Structures are given as structure tokens and as C-alpha cells.
Structure 1
Amino acid sequence: MNIDYPFHFDNRGRTATTGDDDHIRDMIEQFLFTNPGERVNRPEFGSGLLGLVFEPNSPEYGSLLHQGIQAGLQRWLGDLIEVRSLQVTSQEAALRIELKYAVRPSGEVRIETFERRGMQ
């Protein structure tokens, strides 16, 4: 079992745990919404997406963002997942990431959506 993210306690007052599939999803979410430099022992970890919510959109910018996220997922989670498709959209103060990936140990294909809203 793995510690669940975000950290919380279960109904018995113990640290909440989760299964492998949910843990992989949690790790993807942590990578996407962590800014580089936030982790002391891993200063390169993170995509920096939250800082980009209010940046102007363009096809070139979107392509660069897509490549950066895909490369980061490969670097940090490539032993666990294979990215099949990735779509990042930013609308007003909301950032939405749709990710299709295969879990390497099982081969199962999963589709997950991650979303964050800026301060309002």
C-alpha cells in the first residue's frame, strides 16, 4: 500500500493509504502541479503549469508546453507509465489536463483529467 495524496487520515485515525493505480495517478498530479524548485532534494521535479495559467495562448506555446510535460512525465514516471495522449487547455483562470496513459506493470490504459483553478 502507498500513502494517499493529498495526505490525510482514514476513518481509523491512521495515515490513509491507496492502491497502486491511484498512487500512480497521485504521482502524475503531483508532477503536473508542482513548480520546479519546490522540492528540496529534487529541484528539477515539477512541470510549473500553475504559473502558466494566465500566460497568453498560441499554437507554438501550446506545443512547447505539451513537449515539456511529456518529457517530464517520461523522466520522472517513465518506468511506471507510457503517455499515449496529452491535451492541455487553459481557459480564463482554469487549467485542464487530459492524459491517456498505459500503466507499464499491468498494460492497463487509463484516461485521467486533472484541473486547477486560479485564485478568484
Structure 2
Amino acid sequence: MTIDHPYDIGGSGRTATTGPDDHVRDMIEQLLLTSPGERVMRPDFGAGLLQLVFEPGGPEAAATTQYLVQSALERHLGHVLTADRVEVEAVDSALLITVSYVVLRTRTPAVATFHIPDGRQ
């Protein structure tokens, strides 16, 4: 078990934990929401998607975001997962990102959807 993200207190009054597959999903979320330069010891970590929400939309922006997410997943989480497909859709003033991936440790396929910036999943 690992510490759940975002940090929370569980029903027992202790730090909430999560299973290994959900932890991988949490790592993807951290990668997408972290801006490059935000982490002192890893200044290149992050996809910086919160900044893209304020950029002009359109198919070009969606394609750029898709490439940005795919390359960030391969670069920073390639040792944990294989990203099969990344889909990006602009919805009003938010981005809807769907990542289909396989957890390398268990060979388990999974799909995670992120609604950025408001965090709905």
C-alpha cells in the first residue's frame, strides 16, 4: 500500500492509502498537473496542463496537448506504464484527457480520465 493522492485522512483516522494500480493513476495525475520547474530536484518533471487551459483552443491545441501528454508519460513514467492512447478534448474552458495505459508490473490495462482544471474525474 502507498499513500493516496491527494493526501487524505482515511476512516481509521490515519493517512489514507491506496493499492498499486490506483497509485499509478495518481502518478499520472501528478505528472499532468505539475508544471515544469515546479519541483526543485526534478525541474523537467511535469506536463504543465493547467497553463494550457488559458491558451486558444482548436484541433491544433488538442493535437499539441496530446503530444505533450504522450511524451511526458513516456519520459517520466515509462518505467511504470505503457501509454497506449491519449485523447484530448476541449470542453468549455477545460481539457478532458483520457489516457489508456498498461501497468507494466501487472500487465493490467487501465483507462484514466482527467477533467482539467477543476479536477473532476
* TM-score with structure 2 setting the length: 0.89
Two-structure CA RMSD over aligned residues (Å): 1.4
CA contact (8 A) 2:63 2:88 kept: no
Instruction: Please list every run of at least 4 consecutive aligned residues from structure 1 whose deviation after the TM superposition is greater than 4 angstroms.
Output: none
Q: Which sections of structure 1, spanning at least 5 residues, go unmatched?
A: none
Q: Which sections of structure 2, spanning at least 5 residues, go unmatched?
A: none
Aligned mates of 2:7, 2:39 — CA distance in 1: 16
Aligned mates of 1:11, 1:80 — CA distance in 2: 29
SS of equivalent to 1:96 = strand
* Length, aligned pairs only: 118
SS of equivalent to 1:115 = strand
1:1-120 equivalent positions in 2, closer than 5 A: 1-117=1-117
* TM-score with structure 1 setting the length: 0.90
SS of equivalent to 1:105 = coil
Give the CA deviation at 1:90: 1.7
Give the CA deviation at 1:89: 1.4
Give the CA deviation at 1:93: 1.5
Give the CA deviation at 1:65: 2.1
